[in-house]
Chains A and B, each alone.
Chain A
Amino acid sequence: MVGAETKELWSGTSSELFTLTYGALVTQLCKDYENDEDVNKQLDKMGYNIGVRLIEDFLARSNVGRCHDFRETADVIAKVAFKMYLGITPSITNWSPAGDEFSLILENNPLVDFVELPDNHSSLIYSNLLCGVLRGALEMVQMAVEAKFVQDTLKGDGVTEIRMRFIRRIEDNLPAGEE
């Protein structure tokens, strides 16, 4: 009765553990904060804190070298990072003429598998943690970026779209004499 069969049953479980825990977190934040904007900010901040540590894990496991430009960065984010952590490969579209902005299009967002936004949370950006993660991770490799959701299947859009914008390169500014 238990054993090999149940291993198959549970094979998706660690993935579900993450998405269910994320859902519980968003629910808790909605209780703790009075408005959606504050929840969005908190998700972004938590995502940032995760991102600055996740990048170490990513670099250790992925063997990607330094990216030479934002286009390479986009490829690595979509084809390596998203694939490794969320098992999906978003497509990259809508490059700005200057090459400093692009969109990640997610046909399926694994975070929202069992989620429906309740009516009184229309400003909630449910997956905002992702934007923080992207921002935090890229900051650790010397890139200041902005990431934001511009389309969301939870809100009735056909796809989920994250707009990424390169702000500037971060130079290491160490005072003289410090290592």
Chain B
Amino acid sequence: MADPVLFEFLHTEMVAELWAQDPDPGPGGQKTSLLVLEGMGFRVGQALGERLPRETLAFREELDILKFLCKDLWVAVFHKQMDSLRTNHQDNSFPLLVRMASGLQYLEEAPKFLAFTCGLLRGTLSTLGVKSLVTASVAALPACKFQVVIQKP
């Protein structure tokens, strides 16, 4: 059973590695690196979602799925509670507020660390049958806001 810090250390190193590698230090290169991180998170999220027994997938509404993700998956994966899930969502957009790890000191660094997690959420939702777009923004550390937008077919 891998200790939780291993993921944190690995994630930090992955972010550093992707940035060091990129020949384009400007906004174009950054975008690629963020996409790569998000894509990796997505594949991991999918695999995590697949490990759920089928009974738990009988959700009726997207809100139930998101509540499940917030309370259970988030705690299990990150050992932290999500601060809140605002249920007064508009259309198919759900904001989730999270207190992130204390390691994030600089606002401009935050997107690199959130990209993987956005992908993770999107991937798990995808396995649960929900197509979504997940973005994150940081107004004031350590709190950050994930925005989950459900894509209706």
Q: Which positions in A face B, CB cutoff 8 Å?
A: 1-3, 5-7, 9-22, 24-25, 27-28, 32, 42, 46, 49-50, 53-54, 57, 84-87, 110, 114, 129
Among A24, A27, A46, A50, the one with the most B-chain Cβ atoms within 10 Å of its Cβ is A24
Q: Is B44 at the interface (CB under 8 A from chain A)?
A: yes
Residues of chain B from 66 to 92 with CB closer than 8 A to chain A in the complex: 67-68, 71-73, 75-79
List, sorted by A's number, 9 A–B pairs whose CB atoms are closer than 8 Å. A13-B76, A14-B7, A15-B2, A16-B47, A17-B44, A24-B44, A46-B13, A85-B3, A87-B2
| Partner among B4, B10, B56 whose Cβ is within 8 Å of the Cβ of A22 | B10
Q: Which positions in B face A, CB cutoff 8 Å?
A: 1-7, 9-11, 13-14, 16-17, 21, 36, 40-41, 43-44, 47-48, 51-53, 56, 58, 64, 67-68, 71-73, 75-79, 116
A7–B77 alpha-carbon span in the complex (Å): 11
B24 to chain A, nearest CB (A): 14
Contacts of B64 in A (CB 8 A): 2
Contacts of B72 in A (CB 8 A): 2-3, 6-7, 10
| Partner among A20, A42, A50 whose Cβ is within 8 Å of the Cβ of B47 | A20
| Partner among A12, A46, A54 whose Cβ is within 8 Å of the Cβ of B17 | A46
Docked-complex contact A9 and B13, CB < 8 angstroms: no
A4–B6 alpha-carbon span in the complex (Å): 26
A128 to chain B, nearest CB (A): 13
- Knowing A2-B56, A50-B9, A87-B1, the reply to whether A14 touches B79 (Cβ < 8 A) is yes
Contacts of A57 in B (CB 8 A): 5, 9
Contacts of A15 in B (CB 8 A): 1-2
